[in-house]
Structure 1
Amino acid sequence: MEPLTETKNSVGVSESSQTLKELRVLVLATTFPRWANDTEPRFIFDLTKPLAEKVSLWVLAPHAPGAKIREDMEGVKVLRFPYFFPKRLQTLCYEGGILPKLKTSWLARLQLPFFLAAQSFHIWMTVRKYKINFIHCHWIIPQGFFVALLNAFTGIPYLLTAHGGDVYSFRKNLLIRLCSGFALKRARKCTVNSKPTGQAVHSIRASTSIQVIPMGVDTRLFHPQKANLKIKENLNIQGAFLLAVGRFAEKKGFKYLIQAMPRILAKKPATKLVLIGFGPEEKALQRLIAELNLQNSVLLPGSKTGEELSQYFATADIFIGPSVVTASGDTEGQGVVFLEAMASGTAVIASDVGGVRDIVRDMETGLLIPSKNPAAIAEKTLLLLENQELRNKLSLNGLRLAKGEYSWKKTAERFLETYDQIIRTTS
């Protein structure tokens, strides 16, 4: 079994091999901003920006209605492949993710084979057109399988990056495990965003070389100075401001947070919870809010841009992430949203699941709670609301952690060092 290693910055980017300058990198992702100020998760984009300053780089992502086929986004060359016609009906990707769409939409299931065919074709064509000599593949499935096939014919080296959902969700599916194992076997290395994600990868293929490189946070966008009291005024928040952000999907566990609110309101009746996001469970959450008569205490203002989110994070008193492990095994691979809260100077409460514990260190950078436990959520929330000293301690420690260890610059340096190591051992 290959050791699970954490990256240390043993060499700076400036000291990396001369071969980095010769790299022509193709980055593959199925989650990527569709346009400027998009509400889609942007962590792949935030990583590729500093990478593109050091190597020639192209991003290949699925197209979406209203998005450009080709564009330059802040120095990153982005290519988007259409996978269904008419293009306005493309619904498999974005706004909730592929897996939730497959569970809830017959149109998404219809589009899956077209998507797989289009993705594999455009990977091949992009490699040929731009003379790609290195591939960085985010998510093992599905694109990792196609890249492994490409490697078998061309020898182009590739790096896999697992984010959690690509390994947690499919561990019980034999076919996907076989495809994942093939992708891992031919990869030069697999990076993971947390130790638990690495352990999940090892359960698929124990001999894979795995390196922990967590995703980062934009500390220029998320910081305490972004606090905007107009948010509280507009939402009529007179008491404590609780915040939760994420896709409205089962693994986020938002229903347990809503169920905790009556206990919180019994002692702090002016408290309000703001849930920001979208997804397949939105109607179910709205029904639960109505059943518990919480319409005035639990607010769903919809999706927000990164700039808007930064203001919500910095203004909130407490950020709560009640994530769970679903029946299929899916859970948080890392939880970038916790870093965004910490970088904003906001105290964090989180379920002790998946890779969250790599970031949220109990009683140090946040409070950890058992999952699916509304009573525990209420207890820890009230503890922080009544203990300003503890809240300040967690906020300060979380801020130091986010700024000191998780800046995108440092994350990019770790990946560039890994690129360099792979190329030097390949050539």
Structure 2
Amino acid sequence: MKIGVITSAYPEYEDDPHGIFVHRLMKEVTKKGHEVHVLAPYTGKMTNFQLDGVYVQKFNYFYPKRFQKLAGRSGMIDNVKEGVFVKFQFCSFIIFNLINSYKKLKDMDIVHVQWPIPNGLGALFLKKISKIPYINTIHGEEVYLSKKYHTVFLIKLLVNNSSKTITNSSATLKTCLNEGLDKKKLDIIPFGVDTSFYKPLNIVKDKKIFQILSVGYLIERKGFMYLISSISEVSKKHENVRLKIVGSGPQEKQLKDLITKLQLEKYIEILGNIPNDELLKMYNSSDLFVLPSIIDSQGNTEGLGVVLIEAMACGLPVIGSNIGGIPDIISDGETGLLFPQKDVVELSKSIIKLIENRILMEKIADKGYQMVKTNFSWEKIAAQYIDCYEKIKK
């Protein structure tokens, strides 16, 4: 089967975090013998290449192309805040996306749209002109933004014309239903993790410190400022606590300034992006993983929380905020601990609770590991998508 993928984020190399979860899904689909062609916006380097057997073509959406700002690595949601000039590029993006969808994907058997806004109109055009069916994957943020900018009618159009629309969590599904999207078109398939790569390793940990790890793009929605603030409280009781944050992004300076303000330079380090091999070692050399995501000022939140699954696959106990798709992964007290978003006091208590209760740490780490192996391997997730493709093509 020839599968076309229209997405607004796709990596250019294996350790590139820009849309990496989309690539991991499509790489697994390719392993099953299907031919995958990805269409994505240009982000500054390559335009036509193969990555792990997936064919990737990147298109320009504004000229002169050196002024393209919308699809940069910060992501469209953050880039569009940069002013009227970037907002105008959103309109040109829609036009060039539509044109390139027809030119590049008109001989596909099926089209898979990631983020139907802004990527779905090309698939709709292909369906009307070339009779190619399409499915959507809704990640959550496009629904929140559609509500904010009064364009829910457009998501409804794209969902109603799809053969199937997949949401990544029960929280995203609920949001779609609340906005009146067709229940019969909707289903849930989460994103997953490569359990052959993310796995427990025999790494000796430094027993003199309690190492906490968090991973993510440094934006408001990830809530890192609340985790940093919680370390101020935890360190008063447990001086050996340390926090490493892996990631980069527009809030990096703000977060480093907060660390300095709270005099936590001894306890917290922001590392930037690191290769997957190093991240795997970091998961395995840590004692606890925390994802402190919030509902941000745009009304957007965590669709699922893939880094939680990666951490659990490595045998780490986890703590996450009780918002978005995170409760789909963490059953409180069983596969991890949940705390109310933005609640520094409760987050501090949860961290201290695990530092002081190794039996509970081991219990939730083991149950989390088994849950991920059973439900979240990329092989099983890809099989669900392939089943969806095949049912549509019958």
Q: Could you say which structure has the greater relative contact order, defined with CA pairs below 8 angstroms and 6 or more residues apart? A: 1
Where in structure 1 do 4 or more consecutive aligned residues deviate above 3 Å?
84-91, 104-111, 226-229
Contact 1:40–1:95 (CA under 8 A) maintained in structure 2: yes
| 1:61 paired to 2:40 | yes
Alignment of 1:150-189 (within 5 A): 150-174=126-150, 176-189=151-164
Aligned residues with identical type, % of pairs: 31
- 1:391 matched residue in structure 2: 361
Q: Hey, what's the Cα distance between the residues in 2 that align with 1:389 and 1:107?
A: 55
**Matched residue of 1:180: which SS?**
helix
Letter in 2 for 1:332: E
Q: Hey, what's the Cα distance between the residues in 1 that align with 2:208 and 2:20?
A: 32
Shift of 1:87: 4.4
Alignment of 1:132-151 (within 5 A): 132-151=108-127
**Matched residue of 1:304: which SS?**
coil
**Matched residue of 2:325: which SS?**
helix
**Matched residue of 1:225: which SS?**
coil
Alignment of 1:75-224 (within 5 A): 75-104=53-82, 108-128=86-106, 131-174=107-150, 176-208=151-183, 209-224=185-200
Shift of 1:26: 0.3
**Matched residue of 2:201: which SS?**
helix
- 1:366 matched residue in structure 2: 336
Shift of 1:320: 0.6
What TM-score do the two structures reach when normalised by structure 2? 0.94
| 1:314 paired to 2:293 | no
Most deviating of 81-90 and 93-102: 81-90
In the superposition, relative to structure 1, how do residues 378 and 308 fare at CA in structure 2: closer, same or farther (>3 Å)?
same
Letter in 1 for 2:35: S
Shift of 1:104: 3.5
Shift of 1:226: 6.8
| 1:225 paired to 2:204 | no
Number of equivalent positions: 392
Q: Hey, what's the Cα distance between the residues in 1 that align with 2:77 and 2:124?
A: 22
In the superposition, relative to structure 1, how do residues 193 and 182 fare at CA in structure 2: closer, same or farther (>3 Å)?
same
Most deviating of 71-80 and 85-94: 85-94
Structure 1 residues 54-84: Cα deviation after superposition (integer angstroms, max 9, x where no partner): 3222111122222x22212111111111223
Most deviating of 277-286 and 256-265: 277-286
Shift of 1:153: 3.0
- 2:14 matched residue in structure 1: 36
Unaligned runs of 5+ residues in structure 2 are none
- 1:407 matched residue in structure 2: 377
**Matched residue of 1:137: which SS?**
strand
Contact 1:137–1:159 (CA under 8 A) maintained in structure 2: yes
Contact 2:98–2:121 (CA under 8 A) maintained in structure 1: no
Partner of residue 23 from structure 2, selected from 40, 45, 64: 45
Unaligned runs of 5+ residues in structure 1 are 1-22
Shift of 1:122: 0.8
Shift of 1:127: 2.1
Contact 2:247–2:272 (CA under 8 A) maintained in structure 1: yes
- 1:285 matched residue in structure 2: 255
Structure 1 residues 166-215: Cα deviation after superposition (integer angstroms, max 9, x where no partner): 223332321x2111111011011111111111111222333241111111
**Matched residue of 1:293: which SS?**
coil
Shift of 1:124: 1.0
The alignment's C-alpha RMSD in Å is 1.9
Letter in 1 for 2:40: A
- 2:294 matched residue in structure 1: 324
Letter in 1 for 2:176: V
Shift of 1:358: 0.5
Contact 1:33–1:42 (CA under 8 A) maintained in structure 2: yes
- 2:226 matched residue in structure 1: 256
Letter in 2 for 1:47: L
Shift of 1:418: 0.7
Shift of 1:105: 5.7
Letter in 1 for 2:353: L
Shift of 1:289: 1.1
